[in-house]
A = this chain, B = another copy of it.
Amino acid sequence: MCSQILYDVVVIGAGYCGLTAARNAAIEGLKVLLLEGRDRVGGRSWSSNIGGYPFEMGGTWVHWGQANTWREILRYQMEKDLEMSFDFSKGVNHFELGSMQGSVTMSHKEEDELLASALKKFTNVDGVYGRKTIPLPHVTFRNPASISLDSQSAQDRINEIATTLSPQERTVLEASILLASGGTLETTSFHEFMHWWAMCGYTYAGWLDMLITWKFRDGQSTFARKFFDEALATKRLCYSFNTPVSHIHDTGSSVNVTTRNGQTYRALRVVSAMPLNVLGNVTFDPPLSPGKQAAIATGHVNQTAKVHAEISNPDLRSWTGINYPHNQLNYAIGDGTTPAGNTHIVCFGGQHNHLDPEADIETTKRAVTSLFHPAHYNGKHVEIERLVFHNWSEDEFAKGAWFFPPPGLVSRHLSDMRERHGNVLFANSDWALGWRSFIDGAIEEGTRVGLQVRREIVELQDTTRSNL
């Protein structure tokens, strides 16, 4: 059936959003074609198995507070396949803070208190840490008082509270903000940060729990493949990898999707599940609305560099660290023990002090080793056994990491980004209502448009039947 000339729906992009839309449409009876530019599913989430150990190149952590993701984890009965990133049961068991004031270590309890104190000051716009201002984060700007937060950058907000912050608080606060946004303090929307904070339950404990605690023991890709396999089992899904789309033409009654290699596919509906930063790769006829074009021209600001390092010292399993503002990797945690017995450290940098990890391996190694001051390890430098990374900024199908908006983008263009364009529906985590930027937001969006497409196709079928 994959050669058929008219699909019910063509889904462009096999990240979680496209996978969800394609899967739901297929299990609900539609004929689906899934086109993907890469040679794999998962989009900006992908685990690379090296030596029997899954390194997470992109989206990693999940939590039961993330509705769409968790619904799928339970549905696939994968809740037992999760493990914690942190293990503070043995080894050095400390937090290392490198800053302009030098390098110190402290207990994880002290780390938590320091971060909680800093984040509480940053988020306390209303005396109740944002609860009044963003009472129900899925309804964007439900409280009109929240709109002005989107004209502020993180830097603007820091300026407001600067006198209340200790030097250590300021260091960990700025590093935490940049860990979320992957931009600079000036290009980070304060509202979006507050939206994350609200989603996490307005507490630092929730922040840690939801953002960086639970991951799949065998890698995030095991989860993505469940969606794909379920869709395939319906026998109503066709797919083509290595098939970037270049042009989309909506004739009014159907849509022609032309790939970069010149093939054209036809469907009653198209789901564009491409991220904001790559939508400009595709031309549309008729052209997109001015609002959508403006959103694409603005783009998001997240240029996170995520670097995995295998380090020979097993005691560092219980290490966490921040080194800011001069290091190119600002935030890192001990994330696992590899089969070789080495500690796996995952490190994050962003647009601030940007690092292209592949550009100069010695520079990248130095950015990792600089997280560990020899004074705390008997005068020894850490030894790197392996580096693993994927440069999402240079990836033509990503052009950045997870979505993070500059000030103004969400207040000006959230509805533009979400808007359909004739028979083309736009779905992506980048404009989800809840866990925007997360795997969860991708599934939220794939669910939304999947349902919409089914309703429309069923209506078309009913109309056709009643015309016979």
Question: Which residues of A pack against B, CB within 8 Å?
Answer: 27-29, 64-71, 74-75, 77, 79-80, 82, 84, 135-139, 199, 201-203, 205-206, 209, 214, 233, 433-434, 444, 447-448, 451, 454, 458
Count of chain copies: 2
Q: Which of A201, A433, A458 has the most CB of B within 10 A?
A: A201
A77 to B199, CA, bound (A): 18
Least CB distance, A463 to chain B, in whole angstroms: 15
Determine whether the beta carbon of B74 is less than 8 Å from that of A448: yes
Contact A68/B74 with A28-B27, A201-B209 known, Cβ cut-off 8 Å: yes
A433 to B76, CA, bound (A): 13
Residues on the B chain within 8 Å of A137, using CB: 64
Contact A136/B444 with A202-B205, A206-B206, A434-B74 known, Cβ cut-off 8 Å: no
Residues on the B chain within 8 Å of A199, using CB: 64
Residues on the B chain within 8 Å of A233, using CB: 458
29 A/B residue pairs, CB under 8 Å, sorted by A: A27-B28, A28-B28, A29-B29, A64-B136, A64-B137, A64-B138, A64-B199, A64-B434, A65-B65, A65-B67, A67-B69, A67-B71, A68-B74, A70-B434, A71-B71, A74-B434, A74-B444, A75-B448, A79-B136, A79-B138, A79-B139, A79-B433, A82-B136, A82-B139, A84-B135, A136-B214, A201-B205, A201-B206, A203-B203
Contact A65/B201 with A28-B27, A28-B28 known, Cβ cut-off 8 Å: yes
Residues on the B chain within 8 Å of A201, using CB: 65, 201, 203, 205-206, 209
Least CB distance, A455 to chain B, in whole angstroms: 8
Contact among B74, B75, B433 with A138 in the assembled complex (CB-CB below 8 Å): B74
Least CB distance, A147 to chain B, in whole angstroms: 17
Determine whether the beta carbon of A447 is less than 8 Å from that of B84: no
Residues on the B chain within 8 Å of A71, using CB: 67-68, 71, 444, 447
Residues on the B chain within 8 Å of A214, using CB: 136
A65 to B63, CA, bound (A): 10
Identify the closest chain B residue to A233 (Cβ): B458
A69 to B64, CA, bound (A): 12
A77 to B139, CA, bound (A): 10
Residues on the B chain within 8 Å of A451, using CB: 75
Residues on the B chain within 8 Å of A28, using CB: 27-29
Least CB distance, A89 to chain B, in whole angstroms: 10
